[in-house]
Structure 1
Amino acid sequence: MAAQACANGIARLQGDFLSRSISARPSYQITTRKPIRFIETTNVSTAEQRRAAAQGASELSGADILIEALIRQRVECIFAYPGGASMPLHQALIRQEDRLRTILPRHEQGGGFAAQGYARSSGRVGVCMATSGPGATNLVTTLADAKLDSVPIVAITGQVPKQVIGTDAFQETPIVEVCRAVTKHHYLITEFHDIARVVKEAFYVARTGRPGPVLIDFPKNIQQMTLDAPPDYDPPMNLPGYHPEILQSQSEQISQVIAAIRRSPRPVLYVGGGCINSGASDALATLARRTGIPVTTTLMGLGAFPGNDPQSLGMLGMHGTVYSNYAVNEADLLLALGVRFDDRVTGKLEEFARHGKIVHVDIDASEIHKNKEAHIPIVADVGEVLEKVNAGLTDEDVPRIDEWQQQIAKWKDAHPLVYRDEETWISPQYAIRELARQTADRDTCIAVGVGQHQMWAAQHFPFGKPRRWMSSSGLGTMGFGLPAAMGAQAANPDALCLDIDGDGSLLMNLQELATLHCEKLPVKILLLNNQHLGMVMQWEDRFFEGRRAHTWLGPIDAPEASGSGDGQIGRTYPDFVSIAQGFSIEAAQVRERAEFSDALATMLACDGPYLLDCVCPYQEHVLPMIPSGHSVQDIITE
């Protein structure tokens, strides 16, 4: 059936929320690619010369059209790894290298996460590219990750020629079918004249409404077809059923929100990544400061409100502050903005915010009432709602919450974030606080892997503005940190971009050290190295009587493999310093607290990429901790 559909030349544009038939399009004069003309590379010195030498004055290939369409979407950087089915696209990229930067990752997953880092830190759509088959499947995790965290990326994959789709051709994978559940939308281009429209639609879908990943699968033979006249790069879109622009709040809903604020003696603002995606941080700060309402954020929401502001309660949830969890538990009004009430925040759902009236604002209607019933549900952009609330709020509407603020201050005094701060070893929490101190006056982007280091960074680094924190929060993908920092650096060349990572997580995409060196991306890596899969080990200690089950990352004959070590870390494995130096990356290891500050300063002063291997005790746990499925009454603090 698939082969027959392709032979009929029907464009299959498949999506969970879109369905349509393709109307007739104007016919174009299409010819097959002319025989290859070999070019003396010494005579090709510029992208303009390459364009002229490779294609003639008026002839455009399908690959050229797609790359030009990307440029017209204001794409400045693409993370692309070549292969047989995407070679025409890469040839088109070098013809446009003066207009579009191509960064070569060392693994397609690295390229996908770099595109995420680019998007998360800039607010623009990130773009990555891979070949068919294994190249495409290596992007699947990054697409699933982007969908859960609402990150706008467009992934382009080469595909085998249309006429052999469905025949198990070399490196053929039905990537559209594979990615159906992990993308916001997906396309298989089967008609030459659909290329420009598909690109335009893909970017529109990725960045509007609730942002998310879009896949474009592009058969090689259509990449190679040519056209004598330029196509229409701004064709009308055909997206029946997708109308994110109509999602606006009603005046009655705004009045209800203001009335709820006015009557509330114990309100809390519960803020997630949707606030950052909508660009609503300033409007949030205006509301918070005018009303005095305390603000707590999700892991995705860090930076939406300044972390060092007196009204900040820090992060909420499983590893959130005690006082943020207490405040939500006792609140009589929960203003939930751009959140999804996920299990890592709520714990036992029926106990979460059990005393509070809930106002839930989200641009995605499917999130409303999904996990927690809302008393005032609003399907709209968070920024639009906050602007209207701020405009309608009068002095009489400001709640009287002096007693509530005093109670929260008492909780903060009684339950601060604490950790063991020894004079000899380097506690990971101290390392992150020292990093925050030394970078306080710099524009700093922080990416993290997944594990204990991720939670410590979220707890102890006070993010002052949005889009400076990048974490795989929903999917929890190890190996995210290094390539995400790489993408953030490409998007923000003047910023200080760091990857705070653990040794287990860093090993997942360690090959991207080569990309840092070769592409001149001066990312700094603070490696909190405890030689274990720390978060899993913590659960072993708390819930499995300390039995070690494959969480030691060193040789299996070491006593630590069974949990019987003496607590000391001798020679570390692997030797990250030597590995980094093998990639021509400057690196050093530090073990003593007295030496850490200077070692960190040396890394931060380096002009190029740098890895600082910081050896930390593996006995440290991330606290506070609310066990999965439990409530704040079961919070563990020591």
Structure 2
Amino acid sequence: MASQTVADYLLARLREWDVEKIFAFPGDGINGILAAFGKADNEPKFIQARHEEMSAFQAVGYAKFSGKLGVCMATSGPGAIHLLNGLYDAKLDHVPVVAIVGQTARSAMGGAYQQEVDLLSLYKDVASDYVQMVTVPEQLPNVLDRAIRVAIAESAPTAIIIPSDVQELEYTPPTHAFKMVPSSLGINWPAIQADDAAIRGAAEVLNSGSKVAMLIGHGARNAAAEVREVANLLGAGVAKALLGKDSLPDDLPYVTGSIGLLGTRPSYELMRDCDTLLTIGSSFPYTQFMPEAGKARGVQIDVDPRMIGLRYPYEFNIVADAATALRALMPHLERKEDRSWREGIESNVTRWWSTMRAEAMVEAKPINPMRLFSELSDRLPEDAIITADSGSSANWYARQLKFHGNVRGSLSGNLATMGPGVPYAIGAKFAHPDRPVIAFAGDGAMQMNGMAELITIQRYWHEWSDSRLIVAILHNDDLNQVTWEMRAMGGVPAFLESQALPDVDYAAFASSLGLQGISVASPDELGPAWEKALAAGRPTVLDVRTDPDIPPIPPHATFEQALNGAKAVLKGDDRAAGFVKAGVKVKAQEFLPHGDD
């Protein structure tokens, strides 16, 4: 019987940690590990992307939607470099991912050898919580176990580097000897209880307020029942940071939706007018959208002590699990009998959703992008998983999609990188092969990497019990988000050489792969197209011709931003007439009477 190699042991140890998927791309720097996959009958499962960056994004998406550890792997040199953007996405969104990367053989290190990159230096920032190189077999269990524990404990990416020659060495475990470091599997996590005195003090703050606002993030997702109960006791409205969109359903009448540049008017008004703020599981960074300092008292609850006390002068900064802290808080809260604040919030929310529908129905040339999202809201399966790419699709994801039931959703929140929409969806599908997954991406993101990952979808979709993976493309031949940022923030016209995209038939490309491709060129086709995609027995690409002149105007757009848009017009923006006309129509919906008024 052949001896067990370091690579063999690596995969065996990952199986003992219940790692089932490794998102990866091959290369000779990990040949020893690839051989071990063959001997291990592909357990854990090697999932091949078209590019290492996509492997990292898939691992992030898998971790976000499964609640488990994500693992990605790449070869030495360029492969390890390509992982970085996806790993930074994990770092900034606090997602546990372990990267396993190859390295040139030990005998060649320091010799300016092919693909020799100082990976410890390269990874010391992105994997700052733990990065280590394995140089002898006895080191492996300790390094791997620590990388996994630290990634989960810190909700962060970690990395282990294994030189190619080490992978092929015979595995020998650490011995009971000096300078050997044994290791063990598993970890039992404590329940982080809130401080009693802080809970009583926080309750005093919350009870004394008459206009309570709550801001929740992804850290509140497993405390939805407790958030509802506290919101009802306090008569509060609940705004959601972008990564917390799926922490509470949007069909609750007091949920004001997203906050910030991509946010809603009810969330903006909630923060502007409140006298008390309770923040749960969120490190929302844009403090200009929070209450002005001194106008509201504040309490923050977060399980991560590194993220506590940020953004706002809170009186009580409570380090605890969200659900545990809220359960401790509830007996000390007094139900607010005056519900006028809550009633005003609910009225604002009702009108907002009516406004969103009206904005989505504004005529465009040819299709209003908001209507693409609005039509899905009416048909959204209760167990759907939604991903969105960065860019204008993130605006409509935040404002137009009305989550209900057990709908999940995420995007690149803090890095806001282009390109993760489709690979996130692939990671989600491997996390939940029995649930429908829908990705929204602009044509810029599709041309960057999404089209290539359609090939990955084609390769694996037969393995999923629910084969529905829908990629909806906002096809406007424009890098639309930056175009609007140039106008609104810079006061300059769009620079066509940087912003215009070549026209591509995405539906035809999907069809060439054996996927379902649907071209949508008129608004009346949207509803039937969604129904066809949601009923299909295979993945679908919706190639939707959207109007680039529909502006992603924040509901609280400042005079300065409007002035900058006008400056862009005066400086000769080629689409000036179109976007001014469309912008007036869209913005007018906030002020026109609706059926519920």
Q: In which range does the TM-score fall when normalised by the shorter chain? A: 0.7 to 0.9
Distance 1:284 1:118 in 2: 26
Q: Which residue does the alignment assign to 1:332? A: 275
| Equivalent AA in structure 1 for residue 478 of structure 2 | H
Q: Deviations over 1:112-151 (max 9, x none)?
A: 1011111111100111110010000001111111111011
CA distance in 1, matches of 2:559, 2:293: 15
Identify the residue that residue 50 of structure 1 maps to in structure 2: none
Q: How far apart are 1:168 and its partner, in Å?
A: 2.4
CA shift at 1:353, angstroms?
A: 5.8
Report if aligned partners of 2:215, 2:239 keep a CA contact under 8 Å in 1. Answer: yes
**Distance in 2 between residues matched to 1:630 and 1:294, nearest whole Å:** 29
Q: Which residue of 1 aligns with 2:209?
A: 264
Q: 2:248 aligns with which of 296, 305, 309?
A: 305
Q: What one-letter code is carried by the residue in structure 2 that aligns with 1:600? A: W
Pairwise CA distance, 1:464: 3.1
Match for 1:462 among 380, 386, 402?
A: 402
Give the aligned partner of residue 30 of structure 2.
Answer: 86
Aligned to 2:315: 375
The change in CA–CA distance for 1:258 and 1:115 in structure 2 (over 3 A counts) is: same
> Which deviates the most, 401-410 or 244-253?
244-253
Task: Give, in angstroms, the shift of residue 166 of structure 1.
Answer: 2.9
For 1:504, the equivalent position in structure 2 comes to 444
Kindly tell me: are residues 249 and 552 of structure 1, through their superposed partners in 2, closer, same or farther at Cα, counting changes over 3 Å? same
Give 2:515's aligned amino acid: I
Name the aligned partner's letter for residue 528 of structure 1.
L
Partner of 2:89: 145
**Aligned match for 2:420, one of 469, 475, 480:** 480
Residue equivalent to 1:17? none
Structure 1 residue 75 displacement after superposition = 0.9
Q: Which residue of 2 aligns with 1:537?
A: 483
Check whether the contact 2:387–2:411 (CA below 8 A) recurs between aligned residues. yes
The 2-side partners of 1:88 and 1:214 are apart by 21
Distance 1:554 1:527 in 2: 14
Shift of 1:226: 0.7
Q: Cα gap change, 1:161/1:401 in structure 2, threshold over 3 Å: closer, same or farther?
A: farther
Q: How does 1:463-612 map to 2 (within 5 A)?
A: 463-464=403-404, 468-509=408-449, 510-520=451-461, 522=467, 523-545=469-491, 547-549=493-495, 550-554=497-501, 573-612=503-542
How far apart are the structure 2 equivalents of 1:371 and 1:269?
Answer: 15
| 8 Å CA contact 1:528, 1:615 repeated in 2 | yes
Within the candidate set 388, 393, 396, 2:332 is matched to 393
- Given that 1:317 and 1:626 are in contact with CA atoms closer than 8 Å, whether structure 2 keeps it comes out as no
Matched to 2:276, the amino acid is L
Partners in 2 of 1:581 and 1:616 — Cα distance?
A: 20
Which one-letter code corresponds to 2:316 in the other structure? I
- The one-letter code of the counterpart of 1:204 is R
For 1:190, the equivalent position in structure 2 comes to: 135
Partner SS, residue 507 of structure 1:
helix
Partner of 1:403: 340
AA matched with 2:387: A
1:289 deviates by 3.4
Identity rate of aligned residues, in percent?
Answer: 27
* Counterpart in the other structure of 1:103: 47
* Amino acid aligned to 1:253: A
**Aligned residue type for 1:374:** Y
1:42 maps to none
Aligned pair in 2 of structure 1 residues 630, 260: CA closer, same or farther (>3 Å)? farther
Amino acid at match of 1:618: P
User: Per-residue deviation at 1:496?
Assistant: 0.3
Measured in 1, the distance between the counterparts of 2:405 and 2:165 equals: 46
Listed one character per residue, the Cα deviations across residues 335-386 of structure 1 (whole Å, up to 9, x for unaligned) are 111122402xx2377x646511111222332323343322111223223312
- Following superposition, the deviation at residue 465 of structure 1 comes to 5.9
Match of 2:576 in 1: none
1:591 CA drift (Å): 0.6
Q: Distance in 2 between matches of 1:136 and 1:231?
A: 31
Give the 3 Å change call, closer, same or farther, for CA 283–99 of structure 1 in structure 2. farther
Separation (CA, whole Å) in 1 of partners of 2:112 and 2:407: 43
Contact in 2 for aligned 1:347/1:630 (Cα 8 Å): no
- Assess if the C-alpha contact under 8 Å between 1:534 and 1:551 holds in 2: no
Separation in structure 1 between the aligned mates of residue 517 and residue 484 of structure 2, nearest angstrom: 29
Alignment of 1:402-421 (within 5 A): 402-412=339-349, 416-417=355-356, 418-419=358-359, 421=361
**Matched letter for residue 584 of structure 1:** G
- Contact map agreement 1:113 1:142 (CA 8 A) in 2: yes
Higher relative contact order (CA 8 A, sep 6+): 1
2:168 & 2:13 partners in 1: Cα distance? 16
After superposition, the C-alpha distances for 1:532-556 in whole angstroms (9 at most, x for unaligned) are 111111123334456121453335x
Q: How does 1:31-430 map to 2 (within 5 A)?
A: 56=1, 59-97=3-41, 99-183=43-127, 184-208=129-153, 210-227=154-171, 235-236=182-183, 245=190, 248-276=193-221, 279-343=222-286, 346-347=287-288, 352=292, 354-390=294-330, 392-393=331-332, 397-412=334-349, 416-417=355-356, 418-419=358-359, 421-422=361-362, 425-430=366-371
Q: Distance in 2 between matches of 1:194 and 1:627?
A: 56
DSSP 3-state at the match of 1:65? helix
Please state how far the C-alpha of 1:422 moved relative to its aligned partner: 4.0
Paired residue secondary structure (2:115): coil
CA contact (8 A) 1:504 1:553 kept: no
> Residue 280 of structure 1: SS of its match in structure 2?
helix
Distance 1:98 1:85 in 2: 19
State the distance in 1 between where 2:172 and 2:100 align: 24
> Distance in 2 between the 1:180 and 1:264 partners?
45
Give the whole-Å Cα distance in 2 for the aligned partners of 1:628 and 1:543. Answer: 11
CA contact (8 A) 2:470 2:540 kept: yes
Deviation per residue, 1:225-279 (Å, 9 max, x gap): 11367999x95469xxx99858542111111122222222111110012223xx2
Q: Residue by residue, what CA displacement relative to the aligned partner does 1:475-524 show, whole Å, maximum 9, x if unpaired?
A: 01111100000010011000001111110112221211111111226421
Task: Tell me the distance in 1 between the aligned counterparts of 2:174 and 2:513.
Answer: 43
Letter in 2 for 1:280: A
- The code of the aligned residue for 2:336 comes to P
Aligned equivalents of 2:315 and 2:281: distance in 1?
Answer: 16
Inter-partner Cα distance in structure 2 for 1:324 and 1:126: 33
Q: Which amino acid aligns with 1:602?
A: K
Amino acid in the other structure paired with 2:493: R
Residue type of the alignment partner of 2:16:
R
CA distance in 1, matches of 2:207, 2:8: 58
Native 8 Å contact 1:532 1:551 kept in 2:
no
Give the SS at the match of 1:109. helix
Shift of 1:315: 0.6
1:446, CA displacement in angstroms?
0.6
**CA apart distance, 1:402:** 1.1
- Which has the higher mean CA deviation after the structures are superposed, 78-87 or 413-422? 413-422
CA contact (8 A) 2:206 2:276 kept: yes
RMSD: 2.9
Name the aligned partner's letter for residue 550 of structure 2. E
Residues 393-448 of structure 1, C-alpha deviation per residue, up to 9 Å, x if partnerless? Answer: 36xx22344121133234345654351514673222111121122223x4101111
Q: Secondary structure in 1 aligned to 2:244? A: coil
8 A Cα contact 2:37 2:43, kept in partner: no
